[in-house]
Amino acid sequence: MKQKVEDLDWKNLGFVYRDLPYRYEAKYKDGEWQEGKLIEDSTLVLSEGAEILHYGQEIFEGLKAYRREDGKINLFRPDENAHRFALSAERLAMPPFPEDRFVEAVKQVVLANKEYVPPYDSGATLYLRPFMIGTSNVLGVQAADEYTFRIFAVPVGAYIKGLNPADYIVSEYDRAAYAGTGQAKTSGNYASSLLPSVEAHKNGFADCLYLDPREHKYVDEFGGANFYGITQEGQFVTPKSKSILISITKRSLLELAKKQGLNPVERQITLEEAFNMKEAGAMGTAAVISPVGSITYEGKKHVIYSETETGPVTTKLYNELVDIQYGKQEGPEGWVQTID
């Protein structure tokens, strides 16, 4: 059933799927992408032999549209999502969707569903989920030769608890199994992270923190977001690893941290060093910036800054990033595209 805009409680949306009126779809067939268009049908019809069902040839992205105070709508670095989506496609032997068409399709979906872009100051956004799946019939292990590209939109609240510190647990599962393709250039597949995530939530944690797959010594990332820390000396540090997802939010925060004099660096971070950070947080499109209250490892809880209050560096980074996204502050050139 289609979501009625009048039934939405903007301040209590949660992070759940809702069927909005319009989405974008394009098909790949006979070696080329066909012309795409907005459609109303939210269902997908697949053959039982479809490649996606057997060998998992699928990629996705996530980005948001933000309602400005003047009523217009901002997109935050959609060109970066388009580029990452193309890299993901190449890694999984899929035909990249043209990057300029990707951005234009995102804009079409936002404008077609613009009444669902949450009001300014509601704390909510319109989340965009572009994805591509292999749809042709296969039996042997091989790449598909037909694909479907879609973008749907959902109004959402916070994925993680915003600036309320959250508690995390170091995963006992091998990070390599979670990593999907095991390549930082791809969007990967989150299915193998579901079991450790379910167990973490069952035990009262926000998510898992994964270690490097080789030595199980260095921090990689959280189940659904990248990790950053503020050292005792005040430096912004974030893991350098080949097995974590390229993060647009992380790349943006590295620039903002430099501007704020935090001397940012990407490098290996030992688990012991993470325990002793002055502040730490999760960062990503859905998470935005969520401070880490504690990290539990082998039954011992390590509190980072505070379990009830957010550190000053994290607060400052969060405020600047969100102000840029909502148009309250001008960001670096090209970061924001305003539509409507």
- Point out the residues that are catalytic: 185
Distance CA 116, CA 126 (A): 7
Distance CA 71, CA 82 (A): 25
Distance CA 265, CA 282 (A): 16
Q: Are 166 and 134 in contact (CB under 8 A)?
A: no
Residue 267: Cβ within 10 Å count: 10
Distance CA 199, CA 184 (A): 25
Residue 254: Cβ within 10 Å count: 18
- Contacts of 291 by beta carbon, 8 Å cutoff, 6+ apart: 163, 164, 165, 166, 279, 280, 281, 304, 305, 310, 311, 314
Which amino acid type is present at position 102? F
Q: Which residue has the tokens 């749809």?
A: 135
Q: Which residue has the tokens 């019809």?
A: 45
Distance CA 153, CA 258 (A): 33
Quick one: CA dihedral 304, 318, 104, 100, positive or negative? negative
- Contacts of 120 by beta carbon, 8 Å cutoff, 6+ apart: 67, 68, 69, 71, 326
Q: Are strands 207-211 and 166-170 parallel, antiparallel or unpaired?
A: parallel
Among residues 227, 105, 214, 218, the alpha carbon closest in space to that of 166 is found at 227
Quick one: CA dihedral 229, 235, 236, 242, positive or negative? negative
